[in-house]
Amino acid sequence: MPDWPHAPIHRLTDAGAYMVTAGTYLRRRLLHNAQRLQLVHDALLTHAPEFGWGLQAWAVLANHYHFLALSPADPKTLKPFLSKLHTLTAKALNALDGTPGRTVWYQYWDKHITFQRAYLARLRYVNENAVHHGVAADAEAYPWCSAAWFARTAPVSFQRTVKSFKVDRLDVIDNF
């Protein structure tokens, strides 16, 4: 069957590392304060393990998020995981705004990462996404991403390796 040209393609056939990006509907900045960013951040960290997804890096910003994760044996669990994440966070955000039924999330894009160099570059990209978008001067000071966690938990030699990768030419959906 040919690919549908008007929506992201989700080819979730092989277990492994995946990068996922999701944006708000019309790129609205619905996560415009600490409470809302924390709501989505906490939901992401809570529900990923429920579906067997091992988060490696994450960043939640005002109108989108990214994460890099290791899939369970069946990566098709991504769809129910994101469905739960998006449903719960949309309801909570809509309750805060008194807008029941409003569309919060638009689409998500996933990419199976099959090469170590691609994985390491994306690890850096996601950890530093708040700096990329100009919302933080230091990614480790941005509380809704994994940069501080990575700095605390990853061996220094691995941190140096990740930081050595260039990210300016990555093919990442991030036009938010």
- Model pLDDT for residues 95-154, shown as the tens digit of each residue: 999 999 999 999 899 999 999 999 999 999 999 999 999 999 999 999 999 999 999 999
Domain ranges of the chain: 17-163
pLDDT score at 173: 84
Cα(36)–Cα(40) distance, rounded to whole angstroms?
7
In the block, residue with structure tokens 């160099």: 117
Average pLDDT, rounded, for the chain: 93
Pick the CATH number of 17-163 from 3.30.70.1290, 3.90.700.10, 3.30.70.20, 3.90.1150.10: 3.30.70.1290
pTM value?
0.91
Give, for 94, the enclosing helix (H) or strand (E).
helix 78-97
- Model pLDDT for residues 22-74, shown as the tens digit of each residue: 999 999 999 999 999 999 999 999 999 999 999 999 999 999 999 999 999 99
Got the DSSP string for 59-79? EE-SSEEEEEEE--S-GGGHH
